[in-house]
Amino acid sequence: MTDLSHIDGLVAPRSVAMIGASEDVTRIGGRPIAAMLKAGYAGRIYPVNPKRDTVQGLKCYASVDDLPEAPDAALIAVAARMVPDTIEALGRKGCKAATLFSAGFAEVGEEGLAAQTELVALAHEHGIRLLGPNTLGVYNVDIGYYGTFSSSLDTGYPKPGNIGIASQSGAFGAHLGALARDRALGVSMLITTGNEADITVADAIHWMAERDGIDVICTYMEAVNDPAALLAALDAARAAGKPVIALKAGRSAVGAQAAASHTASLTGDAVVADAVFRDHGVILVRDPEAMMDIAYAASKKIYPAAHSLGVITVSGGAGIVISDEAERIGLPMPAMPQAAQARLKALLPYASPVNPLDCTAQALNDPSLLESFTRAALEDGGYGAVLCFLTYVAGSPAVSDAILAAMKPLRAEYPDRIIAFCALGAPEVLERYDDEGILVFNDPCRAARAIHAICETRAGERATKLTAANSVTLPEHAPDEAEAKSILSEAGVACAPESRAENADEAVTAAEVLGYPVVMKILSPDIIHKSDIGAVKLNLRSEDDVRTAYDAIMQAADTHAPDAAISGVLVAKQLSGGVECLMGINRDPTFGPVAVFGLGGIFVEILDDVALRICPFDAATARDMILSIRGAPILNGARGQEPADIDALAQMLSQLSVFAAGAGERLLSIDLNPVLAMPQGQGAYALDAVIELNEGAQ
Amino acid sequence: MTDLSHIDGLVAPRSVAMIGASEDVTRIGGRPIAAMLKAGYAGRIYPVNPKRDTVQGLKCYASVDDLPEAPDAALIAVAARMVPDTIEALGRKGCKAATLFSAGFAEVGEEGLAAQTELVALAHEHGIRLLGPNTLGVYNVDIGYYGTFSSSLDTGYPKPGNIGIASQSGAFGAHLGALARDRALGVSMLITTGNEADITVADAIHWMAERDGIDVICTYMEAVNDPAALLAALDAARAAGKPVIALKAGRSAVGAQAAASHTASLTGDAVVADAVFRDHGVILVRDPEAMMDIAYAASKKIYPAAHSLGVITVSGGAGIVISDEAERIGLPMPAMPQAAQARLKALLPYASPVNPLDCTAQALNDPSLLESFTRAALEDGGYGAVLCFLTYVAGSPAVSDAILAAMKPLRAEYPDRIIAFCALGAPEVLERYDDEGILVFNDPCRAARAIHAICETRAGERATKLTAANSVTLPEHAPDEAEAKSILSEAGVACAPESRAENADEAVTAAEVLGYPVVMKILSPDIIHKSDIGAVKLNLRSEDDVRTAYDAIMQAADTHAPDAAISGVLVAKQLSGGVECLMGINRDPTFGPVAVFGLGGIFVEILDDVALRICPFDAATARDMILSIRGAPILNGARGQEPADIDALAQMLSQLSVFAAGAGERLLSIDLNPVLAMPQGQGAYALDAVIELNEGAQ
């Protein structure tokens, strides 16, 4: 269990000291005090400033030592060079948590980073945990605590609610808070982590996951500074049934971070992070607005069992637009059962009761139609979510009473379904629907996207548990092809049947054990490009073929590489008729070994069509991964091929992931290319294997 | 020149008769009068109702015949069966334009459709043009004309402005209008076309294209009822420099409409329509909100020459989020020139002046920083658009004066650039920026997307002119392969060099003229699967090969198809070393012949990776099309291939399109598969050709 009690002090303190307190309410040392006084913070505020007796009407203390008690939290707004003394004083006093507004640390270069590292050591020596430095701070609307100097408060205070925001960026976090406020969305908590010298955004997420009153967590991050803590935090949130909606920025740096090995060149930080986040149930967004849309939908705490949408509309056109968007994003809109269609048709001829259910402008004159259609969608359609496109009709004060009367019983009868309106009108009219638990959006496509994200979150709960990794012993030096295959075969990764032979007789024996046809290639650590010198022979169908090929290979080696050490040949069963794939492992600097799967050729080289996942994972997960690529129809038997043995591929990929997870940091990469997926029931085999080790590491 | 003068009467009438006028302001015959009285319509309103003397305080007429003048427009709200008499009366009176609110026509089935067809004939007999039936009508805010019964007016009137909306759907069109109104966006005109018995959405677009005061046209459509008129309207809008922003709904019906031939199965109405719209400079959207975002941006009438974005930000995080989105959508964000970076660095150390340009929270204390950074972006960066992420800072009334003072001179000095803010705050504060010509968005990603669309519109102006089609004479019956190739070769579509031969000597002569190696295949209309019976021979490298192959082919035909009529063999130069592509023509029911281009194999079969365009088009356009597919890198020499002869492909595709455009309705499809694109400078050749004709048609 992670101990996050220090964050209680930072975010929900009973008392706070403002070190560097200012009378000027526009200054960093003045803003927090002004905001708390205005918001009626219930705790005790202790301004600290040697030059003043009072600050903003409060008694001011000359130093930390003069404080009447150890404050739960300290806010530090003094110059960087004065911070260490302040920390020491806080330590003496017994304060356990400090928010460091002060800038001039890691963000200004090497020297600042050194000072920051020392500062953390000093703080920990004194039992103090740090938020920042270079942070905009935190707020906690529920208790009126504003440990922040954000000017976003100049344009209004947040509305309390069950959404929390954890952001590495101060200004962007405050932007999210202000965005929520401007749309009257309840965000009780903002924690911005700045330089993350000590406390990270992962800690903030984890703390919110365990905090009563927070049901939805929004997070903005750039770097993942503590991957293990982040994954633990995400798992805690998932366990608590709180969705994490994440905007991970810095995607356009993809490619700059491409690593050396072949498969690595296809990935990149952002792509790996996406895969990891999705594995852990995170809802990924790119727009701040989409984040708030989904957070809003999630704030109602309804996660329907069915991932499907029923649409009720007063406009045929809108019904089509929503259907188009639903299909584009993958939100199913199954048709209504026939019997229910007939019933609705009797109620309202000339209207389409399929899905979308068009109750036409008649619903304007007769709100009982709206009720009948919505009830049918919930009861007969069984949709997880029902979206009613009511546009300006619902915004009319004259009509809203009747609509509310129609919907309230349905809202009560179907507590486990999402009911949403697309409506335009005055905020005070639309708020009445929201107050009854009906989601209100003004754009039907944004509504559909938010609903889809919520339904998928529920679907994500089915994610498989990770398989524990075995411990693996790696050889001292990078293995050659035969050794690599032998290591992997032992780990359960199927390689094409093959054996070494030191002379022509052994080669013939090997071929006869394996069964013709076979391929033969020279075994020599000194010959890299074997094909180029004629030291690889394919399609050998008889003893004669094998003997001729053996002589030819040895002759070729003698001619082109007279000094090479030759340890014989590798004789392998020649497989054909399968689909060529590739699998690999690459070590991500943040998340460790990442498995990659793709079809070979253009799917990888031109289309970047690969699936990624951090290791280890089970065969069911591997199967999902394999089927997620765009080229998957080829494995399923498109283009006149027999369906490939996807089960065998999945088994192999999972075993590879378990091996990689157990192999430790010395394993740099594994490249199995090609892997041949044979027709169903006939297995999958790696035809080549390269294992790359960090020879320096232990 | 299309005559659209009748639409003047419908949308900008000096007098209007309401047939079926009602005292009840919530009824269809009551709403328009109430709305016009409230809005202060400057024209004359004539209620018509035999049962009343006055309606809503206006003198009411018993019949159309009693009216004191021929009204410019008639609004008809009587029952469907009474409409013909009304039309006749209007004809007698001399009215030229009628809006038919009445429903019960084509939308209710066969009988209604028949009545509708008769009605149009009747109206045209009397010189009357019809809007509708089943339309919600039109409004024209500038003159206070509300020929509509939309209840959207219950929640407020539109704000005048230079945006017009043309919509097939009434309720959805009114939703767009209300959406614009709720965000204070000026929409002066809404025209909804309902059943389009006479006037179509194309007419409405065309009329707006020629209407002073409308600078931006938004359109919602489902069906394209008059493709020629639509293309003419789009071209008129483009010529007038007015962007058309279109939401074409009904995309999820794609696939249901797949036609018979191979290439057709890859397309579908929506995809063809997209291609056509893009060709004509239309901005395509999927969301109503995106439509309004782009319309808003366009309403400022600034179309920068440079398709590039400079970002000024007070939050490093927001800068990254915007960069990510810009990269995703293809909006270039080039770096600032080095000298300018150095200058800005001197002004504000520790801030990044590359692009995004981070002027940090310092800009809050010193708005001259904002001015310096923005000026540098405009002057030194030369960006077409500059987006300033100012969030709640710009929303603070205290700061907004300083920001306005900083930006006003820049706005004046760079009239040809987009300047946009991402800002949060009270509408009255943000409006002040908008009033100065600065775009204001509250979401930075939506801002980036709208800016991108506007910059692309300008880029679209470079679209090439269409080549005029020649007239083409097609054979009476579907041609065989050799005839098809000969027809296409004459039309400038390169086919693999080949000739017919009736005996072995002729075959040898042909092979020697063509040059070895050659392929040979039997010529018989009775043998379809030539390869299966051994009647195709590849890789013939000498006279001996040719003679042996000739005998073998004849023998095979004799054995497997003794009754087949044989007209000899086809000897063709065997080509190799190129990239396999496919080209084709398919007749779209709406837009006529559509050309398709793709690589062969999985690119087409698994990935639907094809480019489409209506015929005809020139080689430059064909080149754009070819390079637009995802697999284009293969043609450019990826995977170790030599770059293919894209110029030859483009020439061939353009010639094919010219041929198809001139061939008339009898041409159903052409399938060239494969087309071999040889290495650069060596041409491109169709290896097979199938032309399908509609044998029944003339």
Higher-confidence residue of B581 and A469: namely B581
Rounded CA separation A527/A520 (Å): 14
Quick check: B168 and A393 CB within 8 A? Answer: no
Q: Which CATH class is domain A579-693?
A: alpha beta
pLDDT at A267: 37
Quick check: A178 and B638 CB within 8 A? Answer: no
Judged by a CB distance cut-off of 8 A, whether residue A179 touches chain B is yes
User: Measured between CA atoms, how close is A309 to chain B, in angstroms?
Assistant: 15
User: Measured between CA atoms, how close is B610 to chain A, in angstroms?
Assistant: 14
Which residues does chain B have within 8 Å of residue A354's beta carbon, measured at their own beta carbons? none
Rounded CA separation A442/A420 (Å): 10
Residues of chain A falling short of pLDDT 50: 254-268, 460, 462-463
Encode pLDDT of B129-151 as tens digits.
Answer: 999 999 999 999 999 999 999 99
Encode pLDDT of A295-315 as tens digits.
Answer: 999 999 999 999 999 999 998
For residue B36, pLDDT over 90 is answered with yes
B579-693 shares the fold of B497-573: no
Sort residue B32 into left (φ over 0), alpha (ψ -120 to 50) or beta: alpha
Q: How confident is the model at residue B451 (pLDDT cuts 50, 70, 90)?
A: very high
- Identify from B321, B352, B364, B400 which residue to disrupt to test chain A contact, counting A C-beta atoms within 10 A and taking the largest count: B321
Task: Give the nearest partner residue to A317 out of B222, B314, B320, using CB atoms.
Answer: B222
Quick check: B446 and A175 CB within 8 A? Answer: no
Q: List CB contacts of A648: < 8 A, sequence separation 6 or more.
A: A494, A677, A678, A682, A683, A684
Which residues does chain A have within 8 Å of residue B425's beta carbon, measured at their own beta carbons? 155, 182
Task: Give the nearest partner residue to B316 out of A169, A252, A391, using CB atoms.
Answer: A169
pLDDT-wise least confident of B109-113, B268-272, B294-298, B380-384: B268-272
Rounded CA separation A221/B446 (Å): 20
User: Measured between CA atoms, how close is A569 to chain B, in angstroms?
Assistant: 29
A581 has which bridge partners?
Answer: A599, A675
What B356-359 contacts at long range (C-beta under 8 Å, 24+ apart), as own/partner pairs, is B356/B311, B356/B312, B356/B313, B356/B316, B356/B318, B356/B319, B356/B320, B356/B322, B356/B323, B357/B310, B357/B311, B357/B312, B357/B313, B357/B319, B358/B313, B358/B314, B358/B315, B358/B316, B358/B319, B359/B312, B359/B313, B359/B314
Quick check: B107 and A350 CB within 8 A? Answer: yes
Rounded CA separation B316/B331 (Å): 19
Quick check: A606 and B361 CB within 8 A? Answer: no
Count A/B contacts: CB-CB distance under 8 Å.
Answer: 211
Judged by a CB distance cut-off of 8 A, whether residue B534 touches chain A is no
pLDDT at A258: 27
Residues 376-435 of chain A with CB under 8 A from chain B are 391-393, 395-396, 398, 424-426
- Identify from B201, B391, B429, B580 which residue to disrupt to test chain A contact, counting A C-beta atoms within 10 A and taking the largest count: B391
Rounded CA separation B659/B488 (Å): 8
Q: Which amino acid is at A128?
A: I
Q: How confident is the model at residue B360 (pLDDT cuts 50, 70, 90)?
A: confident
CB-based contact B309:B446 (threshold 8 Å): no
CA B37 vs CA B25, B31, B41, B192: distances in Å: 11, 10, 6, 21
User: Measured between CA atoms, how close is A659 to chain B, in angstroms?
Assistant: 31
Domain A300-460 CATH assignment equals 3.10.20.30:
no
CATH for B303-460 is 3.40.50.261
pLDDT at A270: 80
Rounded CA separation A34/B444 (Å): 30
Encode pLDDT of B461-471 as tens digits.
Answer: 544 555 555 67
CA A511 vs CA A539, A557, A570, B144, B477: distances in Å: 11, 21, 10, 92, 59
User: Measured between CA atoms, how close is B21 to chain A, in angstroms?
Assistant: 19
Quick check: A182 and B603 CB within 8 A? Answer: no
Quick check: A324 and B174 CB within 8 A? Answer: no
Q: SS3 for B123?
A: helix
Q: What 3 state SS string does A138-206 have?
A: EEEHHHCEEEECCHHHHHCCCCCCEEEEEECCHHHHHHHHHHHHHCCCCEEEEEECCCCCCCCHHHHHH
CATH for A1-143 is 3.40.50.720
Quick check: B392 and A152 CB within 8 A? Answer: yes
Going by C-alpha positions, the residue among A330, A457, A441 that lies closest to residue A387 is A441
Percentage of chain B exceeding pLDDT 70: 95
What secondary structure letter does DSSP report for B335? P
CATH superfamily of B1-134: NAD(P)-binding Rossmann-like Domain (3.40.50.720)
Task: Give the nearest partner residue to B392 out of A155, A361, A606, using CB atoms.
Answer: A155
Q: How confident is the model at residue B2 (pLDDT cuts 50, 70, 90)?
A: low
The tokens describing A267, both together, are 């990935």
Domain ranges of chain B: 1-134, 150-299, 303-460, 497-573, 579-693
Judged by a CB distance cut-off of 8 A, whether residue B107 touches chain A is yes
H or E segment and range at residue A309: strand A309-313
pLDDT at B141: 97
CB B376: neighbour CB atoms within 10 A?
22
Which residues does chain A have within 8 Å of residue B634's beta carbon, measured at their own beta carbons? 602, 606
Encode pLDDT of B70-122 as tens digits.
Answer: 999 999 999 999 999 999 999 999 999 999 999 889 888 889 999 999 999 99
Residues 616-655 of chain B with CB under 8 A from chain A are 630-631, 633-634, 638-639
The tokens describing B210, both together, are 């020629």
Which residues does chain B have within 8 Å of residue A327's beta carbon, measured at their own beta carbons? 251-252
Burial class (CB in 10 A: 0-12, 13-18, 19+), B65: exposed
* Distance of alpha carbon A635 from the chain centroid: 27
Q: Which amino acid is at A33?
A: I
CB-based contact B283:B453 (threshold 8 Å): yes
Encode pLDDT of B259-275 as tens digits.
Answer: 223 333 333 468 888 88
Longest dimension (CA), chain B: 104
Report residue A551: phi and psi, to 5°.
Answer: -65, -40
Percentage of chain B exceeding pLDDT 90: 70
Which residues does chain B have within 8 Å of residue A633's beta carbon, measured at their own beta carbons? 606
User: Measured between CA atoms, how close is B99 to chain A, in angstroms?
Assistant: 19
Judged by a CB distance cut-off of 8 A, whether residue B513 touches chain A is no
Which residues does chain A have within 8 Å of residue B169's beta carbon, measured at their own beta carbons? 315-318
pLDDT at A268: 45
Rounded CA separation A78/B606 (Å): 62
Q: SS3 for A567?
A: coil
Angle value at C-alpha B175, between B328 and A429, nearest 5 degrees: 105
Q: How confident is the model at residue B255 (pLDDT cuts 50, 70, 90)?
A: very low
User: Across residues B529-534, what is the average pLDDT?
Assistant: 82
Which residues does chain A have within 8 Å of residue B107's beta carbon, measured at their own beta carbons? 350
Looking at CATH, the fold of the domain delimited by A150-299 is given as Rossmann fold (3.40.50)
A387 has which bridge partners?
Answer: A311, A420
Judged by a CB distance cut-off of 8 A, whether residue A317 touches chain B is yes
Rounded CA separation A405/A425 (Å): 18
pLDDT at A470: 65
Which residues does chain B have within 8 Å of residue A606's beta carbon, measured at their own beta carbons? 630-631, 633-634, 638-639
Quick one: closest CA in A to B400, which residue? A155
pLDDT at B94: 97
Task: Give the nearest partner residue to B443 out of A173, A287, A633, using CB atoms.
Answer: A287
For residue B574, pLDDT over 70 is answered with yes
Which residues does chain B have within 8 Å of residue A170's beta carbon, measured at their own beta carbons? 315
The tokens describing B589, both together, are 């029911």
Task: Give the nearest partner residue to A425 out of B155, B251, B638, using CB atoms.
Answer: B155
pLDDT at B350: 77
CATH number of the domain at B497-573, out of 1.20.1250.20, 3.30.1490.20, 3.40.50.880, 1.10.357.10?
3.30.1490.20
For residue B642, pLDDT over 70 is answered with yes
Rounded CA separation B610/B598 (Å): 5
Judged by a CB distance cut-off of 8 A, whether residue B155 touches chain A is yes
Quick one: closest CA in A to B361, which residue? A171
Quick one: closest CA in A to B170, which residue? A315
Quick check: A325 and B286 CB within 8 A? Answer: yes
Quick check: A316 and B631 CB within 8 A? Answer: no
> Per residue in A480-506, is it b (16+ CB within 10 Å) or e — as a string?
bbbebbbbbeebebbbbbbbebeebeb
